[in-house]
Amino acid sequence: MNVGTKIPKNHRDAALAYSALGIKVFRVRRSKAPYANCPRCDKQSSIYIPHRPEQCQCGVPTCHGFWAATTDTTLIHKWWTEEPDANVGAPCKLNGWAVLDIDPRNGGHTSLCALERRVGVLPGTTNQITGGDGIHMLYLSPGFDLPGEPFPGIDFKHNGYILLAPSVHSSGNRYQWPGGVFHKPSTAWPAPLLPRKEKRPIPQPRPAAHRHTFPSVRTAGRPGGGKMWTVEDLVQHVMDGREGNRNHTFFFAACRAHELAAQDLINLSEAESALLHAASAIGLTDSEARNSFDSAATRPSDRTWAA
């Protein structure tokens, strides 16, 4: 019987509690940007050695975002002693999870009701209340790639990561488990939500394509239509980018950042720093990311998206 585990309110103790359950965790900044790289992994360093994050052999476990996730209690104790207020992140696929992220700011609750009317009530599972007053529904990974944003206000988080309680949202609200008790997910990903070609396994990584074509973007959740993007959302969009599509995903986020900043909706310097850290975490070189971010500033505004 899955009796659950009481999660402490202290971030370090919470991270240790998760690790004791076999859950890989890592430190996350309030902006969701990864922590700094060591000199051999820093794109700006004279001794940088080009390599992919998952192939890193530098021995410094905070270099590459969620690839640094671990259950090593010594490291976890050290990390949160250094940064007591660091949020607790957990990679989804690396922990065997796939997560429905329901965001009420963008119509997620309405989409969930419509979805369940169409496919039936989704199976009960571990739920987390997010700092943005949304819900994370944690299921077991289906072993197949999932679309990132299938419905307005609903994201499928599989390749990226989520924050775990008691992490603090940018709003100041905390993530929390109902009753403060965490239950390890044990329910399979709902069959009706599998992609149509679910028999095809996740493809092996391929070299990144250097194309600046634009994805289609859902439009819901803002008066007049459109997603209310935040710096957190843009960073998560970059981190969720698939292999072979990283440049495309980063350029999209950079364009959104410049357009939002032009409307005084976000701070451009903060967005640039967070996005460049995220680009480093997914394996883009510093020159690739900076050139892409700068070129996004000169791209004509695309009013088919919504901030």
What integer pLDDT is reported at residue 201 of this predicted model?
Answer: 45
For residue 224, pLDDT over 80 is answered with no
Do residues 278 and 34 make contact, with C-beta atoms less than 8 angstroms apart? yes
What integer pLDDT is reported at residue 137 of this predicted model?
Answer: 97
Render pLDDT for 139-172 as a digit per residue (tens, 0 to 9). Answer: 999 877 777 667 888 989 988 889 999 999 988 9
**How long a stretch of residues is the chain?**
307
- Most confident range (mean pLDDT) of 126-140, 223-237, 245-259, 264-278 is 126-140
Confidence of residue 301 (pLDDT cuts 50, 70, 90): low
Q: For tokens 């990679």, name the residue.
A: 91
Element (H, E) at 6: strand 5-6
**Rounded CA gap, 2 and 157, in Å?**
23
Neighbours of 159 (CB within 10 A): 21
Q: Which of 132, 51, 129, 143 has its CA nearest to residue 92?
A: 143
Task: Kindly state the average pLDDT of the residues 73-77.
Answer: 90
Which range (66-70, 114-118, 297-301) has the least confidence?
297-301
Confidence of residue 198 (pLDDT cuts 50, 70, 90): very low
**Rounded CA gap, 116 and 97, in Å?**
21
What integer pLDDT is reported at residue 286 of this predicted model?
Answer: 75
Higher pLDDT: 97 or 251? It is 97
What integer pLDDT is reported at residue 227 of this predicted model?
Answer: 60
pTM: 0.61
Q: For tokens 């019987």, name the residue.
A: 1
Confidence of residue 50 (pLDDT cuts 50, 70, 90): confident
What integer pLDDT is reported at residue 83 of this predicted model?
Answer: 87
